[in-house]
Amino acid sequence: MSASDFAEGGATPRKAAEPRHLFFKGIAGLLLGFPFSLWTSWLLMYTGLGPAVAPARDQVAMWIVIPLWCTVFSIVFLARSRARCVGGLVLANAVVGGLWWVMQ
């Protein structure tokens, strides 16, 4: 072992860098975040106080999709593994899709 294999000022060896799977998480966020954002925008605008607050709710629902989608796309990179990323997105889609189906 050389001196570069050890952490600064110590005798503990450095850990190998774990792969972060950024491309996979990005694709998962794009593909699974879109239906999540569509269902969430529908739930926000067509249930509860949405119709009373926003008389132009169709336009608001349309324009709120992109910020929701970008939020999901940003959050997926915080997942520790590919399985947690996809599992969390599938679970979130199932919950929001189920709520959408019940509210219809």
pLDDT tens-digit series, residues 9-25:
666 666 766 777 899 99
Domain boundaries in the chain?
Answer: 20-103
Q: DSSP H helical segments within the chain, as ranges?
A: 22-46, 50-53, 57-75, 82-103
Classified as helix, coil or strand, 6 is strand
Q: What is the pLDDT of residue 29?
A: 94
pLDDT band at residue 98 using 50, 70 and 90 as cut-offs: very high
- What pTM, to 2 d.p., does this model score? 0.75
Length of the chain: 104
Residues 6+ apart with CB under 8 A from 31: none
Report pLDDT for 21: 85
Residue 56 pLDDT > 90, yes or no? no
Query: Virtual CA dihedral for 37, 78, 88, 64, nearest 10 degrees?
Result: -10
Q: Tell me the per-residue pLDDT of 29-51, one tens digit each, with 9 for 90 and over.
A: 999 999 999 999 998 888 766 66
Residues 6+ apart with CB under 8 A from 49: none
Distance CA 92, CA 95 (A): 5
| Percentage of residues of the chain with pLDDT beyond 90 | 55
